[in-house]
Amino acid sequence: MIIDKILLEKLKSNFHEAFWFIKTNKVRTFLTALGIIFGVASVITMLAIGNGAEKEILSQLELVGVNNIVVTPIPDEKNDDLAVDEEENNKTESKRFSKGLDVLDAENIKKHIPSVKIVSPEIILNTYVINNGRQHSVKLIGITNDFLTTSNIELEKGKVFSKYQIINALPVCIVGKKVEKKLFTGESAIGKRIKVKDVWLQIIGVIEEKLISDKAQENLGIRDLNEDVYIPTSTFLVRYKDRKIIVDDVNVRNTNSTGPKKKNYRGNYHQIDKLTIQVSNSDELKATAEVLSKMLKRRHNDVLDFEISIPIQLLKQQQKTKQIFNIVLSIIAGISLLIGGIGIMNIMLASVLERTKEIGIIRAIGATEEDVILQFLSESVLISVGGGIIGIVLGIIGAYVIEAFSGIETILSLTSILTSFFIAVMVGLAFGIFPAKSAAKKRPIEALRSE
């Protein structure tokens, strides 16, 4: 107990002496601590950016689905100036003709590929909705109930499409939260009727609001689901448009004419605009995508008029890039702390040389080597602690400034702040030991003789 009390008094005395020395050499101390300050600030800012990036990746994963494969159609490219002989044209057309992506593709995929859990087709139409005499732009989306699962969304109120409504192509719809707010401010949309293009639809459900950033929409090619109107695919095909019903240009197929003929242009002949396939196991994503590609090519007469993407792989690539970026930032922050530590060591060595006579005096009156080491270590730790505190403040301010001016989301955490502060203190201890031992090793007689 007495020993502990003596040790506490020693520590108190040494830190008081160290504080006095630092106070009398403010400029030098501040310059010494600069490396620690910027190092700690860099660590905090870097971790805040990394946490923000991780949150963004996780939110995007939630939007696209972990085990999803997306198939999108490639419409014909318009090429009216291309002229070919009738015989060559007929051969090319017969060889390259494709029925396009359609509902039958979706049914066959679910039926014949064992690893497939859910298949969700989408048909998209840019149109308008009329309510109370006002017209608003809207996207009309033909879906099945599986769309809610593949898109990780739920209904806030109401219900999904019933089997009876789907089979009979009834004029019912589910709307996004923003659509409800825009058309029915302050009241529920359930049971209300809206006119989308030329068809009156009854609202039976409202999806819960899902926050989707502009960056996510741009990077992942997804829509703001809150602004859409959803109807059964059967209702879409019966009451709006079925692109599978094609009206060919009779002039192109006129076999009695001679001379060069222009290639028939069919535009977007695909019945559906997007096909989302969810597999049971993420390990089967790549293999399923390969089987899917072969099946669709065979069904489309070997015409590659579709493209397949695996959103989670794109996100993993983004995550890898961001991790590399964070590693680079960590190295920079580590170098700053290293430079800060070297700065502390240099200043402390200079301080040892300046105070050689003082060291001789305190050794002559009974101070031990441990007392001298403790005194100089106290100074280096105080410099590190002070630099760490200033660095924490600058790091927090830096994180907010980056978010405000660059749009990059940053998330500060207590763990990152405490970690950076702990590193700062450890740097002070590590780089203060050598100067402290150098001071303690000086012989009192020689130290007293120095000028």
**Rounded Cα gap, residues 48 and 411, in angstroms:** 5
The residue-averaged pLDDT of 74-78 equals 66
Which residue type, as a one-letter code, is found at position 15?
F
Report the percent of the chain where pLDDT is more than 90: 19
pLDDT at residue 249, rounded to an integer: 42
Report the percent of the chain where pLDDT is more than 70: 72
pLDDT greater than 90 at residue 230: yes
pLDDT greater than 60 at residue 174: yes
Question: Residue 144: CB partners within 8 Å, gap ≥ 6?
Answer: 120, 121, 161, 166, 232, 233
The residue-averaged pLDDT of 317-321 equals 69
Lowest average pLDDT, out of 45-54, 119-128, 288-297, goes to 45-54
pLDDT greater than 90 at residue 232: yes
> What confidence category does residue 84 fall into, taking pLDDT thresholds of 50, 70 and 90?
very low
> What confidence category does residue 265 fall into, taking pLDDT thresholds of 50, 70 and 90?
very low
Judged by DSSP in three states, 424 sits in helix
C-alpha separations of 147 from 160, 221, 225, 232, 283 in Å = 11, 16, 11, 10, 22
pLDDT at residue 255, rounded to an integer: 43
> What confidence category does residue 300 fall into, taking pLDDT thresholds of 50, 70 and 90?
confident
Half-sphere exposure of 219 (CA within 13 A, CB side): 21
The residue-averaged pLDDT of 388-395 equals 90
**Rounded Cα gap, residues 390 and 399, in angstroms:** 14
Phi, psi of 68, rounded to the nearest 5 degrees: -95, 145
Lowest average pLDDT, out of 4-18, 135-149, 252-266, 334-348, goes to 252-266
The residue-averaged pLDDT of 223-230 equals 87
pLDDT at residue 77, rounded to an integer: 56
pTM of the model: 0.62
> What confidence category does residue 426 fall into, taking pLDDT thresholds of 50, 70 and 90?
confident
Judged by DSSP in three states, 288 sits in helix
> What confidence category does residue 74 fall into, taking pLDDT thresholds of 50, 70 and 90?
confident
Check residues 214 and 252 and name the one with the higher pLDDT: 214
pLDDT at residue 440, rounded to an integer: 66
> What confidence category does residue 446 fall into, taking pLDDT thresholds of 50, 70 and 90?
low
Looking at the DSSP assignment, which residues form a beta bridge with residue 196?
129, 199
> What confidence category does residue 219 fall into, taking pLDDT thresholds of 50, 70 and 90?
low
pLDDT at residue 343, rounded to an integer: 77
Two structure tokens written together for 145: 């109930």
Half-sphere exposure of 409 (CA within 13 A, CB side): 13
322-367 pLDDT tens trace: 777 777 777 777 777 777 778 777 777 777 766 666 667 766 666 6
Contact 421, 388 (CB under 8 A): yes
Q: Output the average pLDDT for the chain.
A: 77
